Amino acid sequence: MEKIVMIGTGYVGLVSGAGLADFGNEVICVDVDKEKINKLNNNILPIYEPGLLDVVKRNVAQKRLSFTTDIVAALRQARVIFLAVPTPSAANGEVDLSFVFTVVDKLAEVIADYKIIVTKSTVAVGTGDQICERLLNRGVSRELFDIVSNPEFLREGSAVNDFVRPDRVILGTSSAKALEIMKGIYRSLYLIETPIVATDIRTAEMIKYACNAFLATKISFINEIANLCEKVGANVLVVAKAMGLDGRISPKFLHAGPGFGGSCFPKDTLALTKIAEKAGSRVAIVETVIKVNEKQKMRVVEKLLNFIPNLKGRTIGLLGLAFKPNTDDVRDAPALTVISEIVKRGGQIKAYDPAAMGEMRKHFPEITYVASSEDAAKNADAVIILTEWNEFRNMNLDYLKSVMKQPVMIDARNIYEPELVLEKGFKYACIGRKVG
C-alpha cells in the first residue's frame, strides 16, 4: 500500500484517485474548491460518471479515500503526489501550465523528504523537465524528488472500467526507484496482465498527444468520407463497417457524426500543433483534422437550413447536449456551435439532455430546457439529434410527428434508418447516407 495525494478532483483526479484507492492504496484527494470538497465528503459527485459513486463510497468506508482542501498537510503526508489539475488551452492555443506550477511551487515550500511527482494531467512535452528545473531553482535538493509522467486514457462515460482495465499503463521516468514504486501502485493490474510501458518522460508526454491526435484523425477522416458519400450516393455506415473489418484499421472511432468535442481531443490536437510549431516540425495532418472538425459542426446547421432557410421565429428541438452519451460534459460539444448558429439566425431552442442541461445552462442560460425528448419536439419546426443517448434510439416517431409544427428531423448521429423515418412522414437528413 502506498500513501498518495491526488491534487485536483476534476474528472481525471476523481476517477484516478478513487481507482488507486480501489487498488488498495491510501489516497487523499485535494482541491481548492471548498464547495466541491464538502460535496464529496457528503457522497455528492461534482461530475456525472456511471459507476463512480459506488467506488467512492466503498473506499471512503474502507478509509482508503479522503477529501480535503488542506494541500500543505496532504503534501507532507504522502510519498507520491499526482498532479491532476486543469491544463486548459491558453489564448494562443498552447497548454496553460499555471495550475501545475502553482502546485509545484507549493510543494517546494514544504518538501522535506523524498517525493515522486506524477503528472496525470495532459501536459506539453518537456513539462517534466520544467518541473524539475523549477524545484531546483527554489532550492529543493535533487535527491528529494523524482518526476514521472503517467498520462491518462479515460473515456468519459466508461472511465471507471477504463481505469481498472486499461489497455496499457505508461510510466515515463529516468529513475529506477520511482519506476519500481509506480509499478507497486499499479500492482493490481499485473493480475490481468496489463502491459506497462516504461520509457523516458518526454516520450510518455508525447504518447498522450499522439494517441488523441490519431483518434481525432479517424473521426475527421470518416466525416470527410461521409460528406463524400452523400455526394456520390454511397452509404458511410457500410463503408465504415467494411473498413473496420480490416484488422489494420479497426472499427473504433469510425462513426460519422457532427464532429468531436469534449475535454481532450479539441484541446490536445490544438496543443500538439503548437508544440510542433515551436519545434519547427509542423503536423499538417493534425492541423487539417482541426479544420475539418469545425466545418463538420456547421454541417448540421447547413442540413437544417436546407429544410428551413429562414430560422427567424422558428423553434428547434435539440436532443442531446453533451459531446457524447453517459456524460454531462459539454466542453467543445457540437451542440455549442449548433445552438450559437441557430440563435444568431433568430431561432428559438428547446433543449433536452438526460445529464448535461445543467452544464449547458452555464453557456446558454437564455434558451429553454425541457424534461423530455417529447417536450423538446412539441410545437417545434424541427428536431436535431446531437447525442446518441440510448433513450433517443427508440422514440415514438408517430407521437413526435403529431406534436411538431413541421416533421423535420436532422439525425446527426445516424441512429435511425432513413426508410423508417420517411415512412412516418418526416423530412429527414442524416450524415453520409442517401435519403429517399
Give residue-wise pLDDT tens across range 344-359.
999 999 999 999 999 9
For the purposes of burial, counting CB atoms within 10 Å of the CB of 61, is it exposed (0-12), middle (13-18) or buried (19 or more)? exposed
- The mean pLDDT of 277-299, rounded to a whole number, is 97
- Other beta carbons within 10 Å of 431: 25
- The mean pLDDT of 96-115, rounded to a whole number, is 96
pLDDT at residue 327 in the model: 95
pLDDT greater than 90 at residue 45 = yes
pLDDT at residue 1 in the model: 84
Side chain identity at residue 289, one-letter code: V
Strands of the sheet containing 315-319, edge to edge, are 368-369, 348-352, 315-319, 382-385, 408-411, 427-429
- For the chain, domains (ranges, CATH) are 3-199 (3.40.50.720), 266-429 (3.40.50.720)
pLDDT greater than 90 at residue 263 = no
pLDDT at residue 400 in the model: 97
Give residue-wise pLDDT tens across range 171-199.
999 999 999 999 999 999 988 899 999 99
- Main-chain dihedrals φ then ψ at residue 214, nearest 5 degrees: -65, -45
User: Is the CB of residue 46 less than 8 Å from the CB of residue 40?
Assistant: yes
pLDDT at residue 342 in the model: 98
- The mean pLDDT of 385-396, rounded to a whole number, is 97
* Closest alpha carbon to 47 in 323, 386, 390, 356: 356
Mean pLDDT of the chain: 97
- pLDDT tier, 62 (very low <50, low <70, confident <90, very high otherwise): very high
Q: Is the whole-model pTM more than 0.85?
A: yes
Residue at grid coordinates 449548433:
338
Residue 29 annotated in active site: no
- Out of 29, 132, 229, 264, the active site residue is 264
Give residue-wise pLDDT tens across range 306-328.
999 999 999 999 999 999 999 99
- pLDDT tier, 119 (very low <50, low <70, confident <90, very high otherwise): very high
pLDDT at residue 431 in the model: 98
